[in-house]
Amino acid sequence: MSAPSQVEPVHRRRRSGRAAEEGIHYSRWFWPSFTIPATIWLVVLFILPLYTVVSIAFGTVDPIFRGPLPVYEPWWWSGEQFGKVLGDSFGLYRHVYIHTFEYVVIASALCLVLAYSVAYYVARYGGKRKTLLLALLIAPFFISYLMRMLAWINLLDTEGYINKVLTFLHLVPHPIEWLSGRPSTVIMGLIYGYIPYMILPLYAFLDRIDANLLEAGRDLGAGPARTFFRVTLPLSRPGILAALVIVSLPMFGDYYTNNLLSQSPKTTMLGNLIDEAYGSTGQGPRAAVFVLILMVLLIIPMLYYLRSTSRSLLTR
Amino acid sequence: MNESALSGLQSPALPRVRGGFVRRWVRNPWRRPTILATITWGYIAWSLIPLTIAIAVSFNRSRSSSSVNLFSLQWWWTDPSDSLLHDPELHSAVIQSLKLSLTTMVIAVPLGVAFALGIDRWRGRVASGANFVMLLSFVMPEIILGLSLFFVFSFLLKFVPLGSAAQILGLVTFQLSYPVIIVRARLLSIGKDFEEAAMDLGATPRQSIRAVLLPMLYPAIFASAAIVFADTIDDFVTVRYLSGPATSEPLSVKIYNFARGQPSPAINAAATFMLASTIVVGAVAYLLYRAFTRGQRTGAGLGDLATQL
């Protein structure tokens, strides 16, 4: 990478000289024109929808049909719907927020411990088996989330293999109802569903850490544990934070893991509130307010992730 | 720090460690990483064994998921009413799935590649704003995107009916960022030298892109097309919010709806079918990736593909 950048100034001067002679140059709109279609697409189908959510959340409700009446002009916005749902959030739905937070924190922490160990092993000790290991770690990427949850529904069913084994070994007297409102099952499902998204970025990050730095640490007398905690871990901190964010963002918006593995109000998460509001008539404004709340809660981790990854993209 | 440094100096080859077996084992810098190896292989088993069981169920003769009977294709096509091929609902869902995924791939990949090319060379405030919005769409949780699209199609852009059209528009929005990110990573590793060399040799900007840059981007383009296809065929969040009549529900939504309600091995067969189609597309993309990176300085191993994800 360094050699071409040294050559570049000479190169560029020559080209611009020729460009002036022969008219080979990028016109002002050459590169922007490439981005126009996708940018228009995003403005119409990403920015505008988000604005619609805000207009519904701060809009009014049809007095007869209870349907939402979006208000697009900010000066006519009313905070009535928003205030009502926000009030409920501190009262009726407080436990839902607490659940969501608990599950996501526990699941992402366990994800990190497991994913870091696996990524570290593959990056440092993969050796000849690295390709095989990577293929096995990439495999879940190509297997649908639904398929993976379906697998656990089959296994954890009251007549499934896990209960068969447990009752056969007389570890439990009756089959355990894993699939009706157990937080542990939901957390396991969250880990199972999202850990592949954590292992690969962590692997990519750990693989780039210069092995010479670790050897230097060892040469200076630090033991394996000390080298790890004083060199490897601090170096991988940006990777860890980015991986935590990339896993916890979708977990906060998750409702399907819960619906598939629990189906009980005992384990309701914020995503379930949104999904239920979408499904029932007259709850449109409520769904919009919940979406807005979720967005506000997640905006800081999202911005952090964008900042850290755009930096790593440019310095790679 | 001082003590350990000194002991290191005294015996540079093999630091002497006193203590019992466990202590010596822990301190030995050349020991095999047994614990990490156990965790890794244990994780791989945990991540893949449930899936093999789920696949096996779809070839099972019995309706129950736990009793294993003879291998049978009953849930695939032999059963006249409940199998994947003959249940009209599942049958049309398969077609809808393939239709949505292929259309999304065909629209999202060119849009994303063009955006990546442009944003990589265009600097300025507008460019960084567009880039920011693109990356924001990448990290936005799907439930937010899906519901806001549902609202926009039911209130503001009413001329788009819920159903296939809305689903494709939504899926493309959600998938647009994958090709952008993958192609940009590739553009960074290619650099500008080849393109400038082509222009020095007399190519116009357009020619240098088409004849030089684009072929070098093929691996990234194939990788992103495979990812978009795989991710779209699995998608059930955005698609479910934007589906209109029941005929517009693809296989993923059917599976989601039936998974807890009326589980049947035919659902497993449906999921296995989805898996098989993504594996085929993934394998084709990987082979194309290999073919187009052959003889290039950067290796074409899985490691590179992994770092591009």
Chain A CA closest to residue B119: A35
User: What pLDDT is attached to residue A130?
Assistant: 86
Q: Which of A11, A41, A131 sits opposite B302 (nearest CB)?
A: A131
Higher local confidence (pLDDT), B202 or B41: B41
Note which residues in 67-106 of chain B have CB less than 8 A from chain A.
none
Structure confidence at residue B309 as a pLDDT band (50, 70, 90): very low
Chain A CA closest to residue B260: A260
Verify whether the Cβ–Cβ distance B114 to A35 is below 8 Å. yes
Chain A CB contacts of B143 under 8 Å are: 253-255, 271, 274-275, 291, 294
Question: A161 near B69, Cβ under 8 Å?
Answer: no
| Least trusted range by pLDDT, from A9-23, A171-185, B43-57 | A9-23
A33 touches chain B (CB under 8 A): yes
Closest CA relative to residue A154, chosen from A180, A172, A187, A179 = A179
Report how far residue B282's alpha carbon sits from residue B223's, in angstroms, rounded to the nearest whole number. 8
In this structure, what token pair is assigned to residue A18? 């020729």
Question: B149 near A288, Cβ under 8 Å?
Answer: no
Query: β-strand A68-69 against A60-61: which pairing, if any?
Result: antiparallel
Average pLDDT over residues B65-81: 59
Residues 6+ apart with CB under 8 A from A154: A160, A161, B50, B53, B54, B57, B65, B268
Average pLDDT over residues B224-230: 88
Quick one: chain B helix, strand, coil %, rounded to 5? Answer: 75, 0, 25
pLDDT digit string (tens) for B254-281?
888 887 776 677 777 788 888 888 888 8
Report how far residue B158's alpha carbon sits from residue B149's, in angstroms, rounded to the nearest whole number. 11
pLDDT digit string (tens) for A46-72?
999 999 999 988 888 877 777 777 888
| Least trusted range by pLDDT, from A19-33, A77-91, B283-297 | A19-33
Helix, strand or coil, per DSSP, at residue A296: helix
Helix, strand or coil, per DSSP, at residue A230: helix
Question: B60 near B264, Cβ under 8 Å?
Answer: no
A65 touches chain B (CB under 8 A): no
Chain B CB contacts of A295 under 8 Å are: 140, 144
% of chain B at pLDDT higher than 70: 77
The ipTM, to two decimals, is 0.83
Chain A CB contacts of B130 under 8 Å are: 35, 38-39, 42
Closest CA relative to residue B269, chosen from B47, B60, B102, B49 = B60
Residue from A150, A190, A295 whose CB has the most chain B CBs within 10 Å, to mutate: A150
Work out the minimum CA distance from A176 to partner chain B, whole angstroms.
15
pLDDT digit string (tens) for A208-248?
888 888 888 878 877 777 888 888 888 888 889 888 988 99
Q: Does residue B112 have a pLDDT over 90?
A: yes
Q: Does residue A82 have a pLDDT over 80?
A: yes
Structure confidence at residue B109 as a pLDDT band (50, 70, 90): very high
Verify whether the Cβ–Cβ distance B169 to A46 is below 8 Å. no
Higher local confidence (pLDDT), A24 or B259: B259
Q: Is the dihedral of CA B157, B163, B168, B171 positive or negative?
A: positive
Verify whether the Cβ–Cβ distance A142 to B230 is below 8 Å. yes
Closest CA relative to residue B190, chosen from B209, B177, B162, B166 = B209
Q: Which of B241, B255, B309 sits opposite A146 (nearest CB)?
A: B255
pLDDT digit string (tens) for A189-210?
999 989 988 988 888 888 888 8
Report how far residue B250's alpha carbon sits from residue B96's, in angstroms, rounded to the nearest whole number. 5
Structure confidence at residue A23 as a pLDDT band (50, 70, 90): very low
Report how far residue B136's alpha carbon sits from residue B125's, in angstroms, rounded to the nearest whole number. 16
Question: A199 near A141, Cβ under 8 Å?
Answer: no
Higher local confidence (pLDDT), B12 or B210: B210
Report how far residue A175's alpha carbon sits from residue A166's, in angstroms, rounded to the nearest whole number. 8
User: What pLDDT is attached to residue B29?
Assistant: 62
User: What pLDDT is attached to residue A191?
Assistant: 93
Note which residues in 234-253 of chain B have CB less than 8 A from chain A.
234, 236-237, 241, 252
Average pLDDT over residues B113-131: 86
Q: Is the dihedral of CA A203, A107, B276, B231 positive or negative?
A: negative
Question: A207 near A200, Cβ under 8 Å?
Answer: no
Q: Which of B119, B147, B234 sits opposite A145 (nearest CB)?
A: B234
Q: Does residue A81 have a pLDDT over 90?
A: no
Q: What is the DSSP letter of A74?
A: G
Average pLDDT over residues B61-83: 59
Q: Does residue A108 have a pLDDT over 90?
A: yes
Structure confidence at residue B3 as a pLDDT band (50, 70, 90): very low
Average pLDDT over residues A133-153: 82
Question: Which helix (H) or strand (E) is B1 found in, with range?
Answer: none
Note which residues in 146-205 of chain A have CB less than 8 A from chain B.
146-155, 157, 159-161, 164, 179, 192, 195-196, 200-201, 203-204
Which residue type, as a one-letter code, is found at position A309? T
Verify whether the Cβ–Cβ distance A117 to B40 is below 8 Å. yes
Q: Does residue B66 have a pLDDT over 90?
A: no
Residue from A71, A147, A153 whose CB has the most chain B CBs within 10 Å, to mutate: A147
Q: Which of A46, A122, A298 sits opposite B141 (nearest CB)?
A: A298
- Phi/psi at B69 (nearest 5 deg)? -115, -165
| Least trusted range by pLDDT, from A61-70, B8-17, B112-121 | B8-17
Q: Is the dihedral of CA B238, B243, B249, B254 positive or negative?
A: positive
Higher local confidence (pLDDT), A17 or B95: B95
